[in-house]
Structure 1
Amino acid sequence: MSSFHWLLVLLFSITPTVEGRYAIIYGIGIGLDPKHVFIVASITIVLLAIALGALIHYIDSLIIGFKDSRYELFRAVYRFYDRYLLRIRRKARPYIEKYGLIGLIVFVAAPLPGTGVWTGALVSYVFGIDRRRTLLGLSLGGVLSNLIVFILAFFFKVVLWG
């Protein structure tokens, strides 16, 4: 397979809402080596966790600055972000308040819409989880999510479609 497909796996792995879990489905689906797809997606997820852990404060500040922009598009981005933060606070609060770091890992690992490393980074930021625990929670949760999807995708490809 061409390096273009590997580049797409890499790019999908860092894209919000797509992340490694869908990159794995894409890579396996187009015929890339499943274990290499898992490794590339997981390494990329850990690198994303490191970057987001360090940058989420700045991303938040930038988007909050859009609130008073003279451009409607920036104000719309702020409104979307503000609603999204309210939603993830409600969604993540039971996990974080009851289980702490384990709750963050489970929240990130659940291969469901509205979870993942990007959302987990916001959850961690909103709930004031320190950087070390954020990095651990995002990395472990992201790799676990990849593993869950990898096992399911591999099962469907090998067992059901031969």
Structure 2
Amino acid sequence: MEWLKVVLLSAVPLIEMKGAIPLGIYEYHINPIVVFLLSFFGSLLPVPFVLIFFNKIFDFLGKYKFFSGFYNLIDRKINKNKAKFEKFEEIALITFIAIPLPTTGVWTGTAIAAFLKLDFKRSVMCAVVGSFLCGVIITGLAVAAPAFLKML
């Protein structure tokens, strides 16, 4: 049952692998490689849904006065910076997803890809590579942390 919690937690926005991997290793005592694989799989679950439905929901909400200010702000920011991003879109998207910091990750990265209307297949591949790198980084840090703390 703990493995399912790791999979589902890694699919939750903002928590993603950053929370699922340490929980699986330290709280549930699951092998770090298994935790990595479970959280990697879980982090990719929302990718196609975000890429397909995010713009439709965003456009729908933009029709309502309550959301129109936010919609217009985001739309202007995206259009202003789209040319800069397109130059290095794959590397930028992979890096953004791979960096294990708050507000970065698969959810935000695929939302950005959806907003910028990037190619679906390339966006999925960037999410896979970025999520893999993020998982490697977090798993490595989680495994190395006890040894590092003992040195202090």
- The TM-score with structure 1 as length reference comes to 0.74
User: In the aligned structure 2, how far is the partner of 1:135 from the partner of 1:103?
Assistant: 14
CA contact (8 A) 2:55 2:114 kept: no
Query: What is the number of equivalent residue pairs in this alignment?
Result: 149
- The 5 A counterparts of 1:46-85 are 46-53=44-51, 55=52, 58-66=53-61, 75=66, 78=67, 82=71, 85=74
Aligned pair in 2 of structure 1 residues 82, 114: CA closer, same or farther (>3 Å)?
farther
93-102 or 25-34, which deviates more: 93-102
Aligned to 1:42: 40
Structure 1 residues without counterparts, runs of 5 or longer: none
Mapped contact 1:41–1:146 kept (Cα < 8 A): yes
The partner residue of 1:24 within 21, 39, 43 is 21
Q: Equivalent residue of 2:130, what SS? A: helix
Deviation at 1:12, TM superposition (A): 1.0
Displacement of 1:24 = 0.3
Q: Deviations over 1:98-151 (max 9, x none)?
A: 422111100111111121111111111122210011001111111111111110
Q: What is the root-mean-square deviation in Å for CA atoms of aligned residues?
A: 3.1
The 2-side partners of 1:94 and 1:149 are apart by 32
Instruction: State the shift of 1:42 in Å.
Output: 0.8
Normalising by the residue count of structure 2, what TM-score does the alignment of the two structures yield?
A: 0.78
Alpha-carbon distance between aligned partners in 2 of 1:96 and 1:69, rounded to the nearest angstrom: 29
User: Which has the larger displacement, 31-40 or 43-52?
Assistant: 43-52
What is the CA–CA distance in structure 2 between the aligned matches of 1:136 and 1:142, rounded to whole Å?
10
Whether the aligned pair in 2 keeps the contact of 1:108 and 1:141 (CA below 8 Å) is yes
Percent of aligned pairs sharing the same letter: 27
User: Unaligned regions of 5+ residues in structure 2, if any?
Assistant: none
Q: In 2, are the aligned partners of 1:13 and 1:22 still within 8 Å (CA)? A: yes
In the alignment, structure 1 residue 99 sits paired with structure 2 residue 97: no
